[in-house]
Structure 1
């Protein structure tokens, strides 16, 4: 997302027909192109939830001892169009860093890891018919599993730290 914002902001002088500076930013932010070029993600997350990210590009939204797991927008973009999701069975118990499921795309097969010790309580059945939901809506309709978990998610990153992590990975 930060990449899209930077790209859009770099294009502002050309789009707004002005020189760089604050007036151009305001003109861009208020102009009709702003909504079409810089789209805010529709996360569908409640305000009291805690969304954290793993270095391996999974997101985890926790509420109490329950949580929802999926892959980040960056991960779905790197993976390409998902054509098959191999999801675990309800009731499966996993330790942190174990493979929780695999996603097959036209380019590669990606593994998704459990961020904490957990038990699968629900899988996203929609992905059987529409695996591309992982691409089109990775942080809402494209969630993978819901779990009951134990342990702490403190080692995971918040949104700001994850954005910095992505920037550091892009420079490597």
Structure 2
């Protein structure tokens, strides 16, 4: 069974978001997503400063099974990218909620509340 921490918000496309003290949000892929993908072999993170729309493909993860886009859960600006993760992809499989991909400053912070809470996300992945 996939792990779904209560302190995060979730997109239907399996990204999670965690609030940071500076008003930005850390984004990664859920435990369910990494289980479906299997062992990751490649990661491409977005450029810092990039302005994105909600639902826009902003990163790519590839595994031995498939390649998958990672989408921006909300509109905003990418303020950090975890470039070092490309050399430690096993961390996404081992600890997906600490192996973040990028940070975003939402254009509208209220949009984050429109994402699923842990209970709704758990129900969505059945």
TM-score scaled by structure 2?
0.88
What aligned pairs does 1:17-32 form with structure 2 within 5 A after superposition? none
Higher strand share: 2
Q: What whole-Å deviation, never above 9, does each CA across 1:50-98 have from its counterpart, x for those lacking one?
A: 5100111110112463100000000000011111101111111111100
- Structure 2 partner of 1:156: 115
Give the whole-Å Cα distance in 1 for the aligned partners of 2:67 and 2:50: 21
Tell whether 2:86 aligns with 1:110: no
What are the ranges of 5 or more consecutive residues in structure 1 without an aligned counterpart? 5-40, 168-172
CA RMSD of aligned residues (A): 1.8
**CA 1:52–1:59: 2 relative to 1, 3 Å:** same
What aligned pairs does 1:69-148 form with structure 2 within 5 A after superposition? 69-140=27-98, 142-148=99-105
Report the alpha carbon displacement of residue 143 of structure 1 after superposing the two structures with TM.
0.6
**Aligned 8 A contact 2:45 2:83 in 1:** no
- Structure 2 partner of 1:165: 124
**Aligned 8 A contact 1:52 1:61 in 2:** yes
Higher helix share: 1
State the SS of the aligned residue for 1:120.
strand
| Higher RCO structure (Cα 8 Å, ≥6 apart) | 2
Shift >3 Å, 4+ stretches: none
Give the whole-Å Cα distance in 2 for the aligned partners of 1:78 and 1:115: 19
**Aligned 8 A contact 2:80 2:104 in 1:** yes
Higher Rg: 1
- Structure 2 partner of 1:38: none
State the SS of the aligned residue for 2:8.
strand
TM-score scaled by structure 1?
0.66
- The count of residues paired between Structure 1 and Structure 2 equals 122
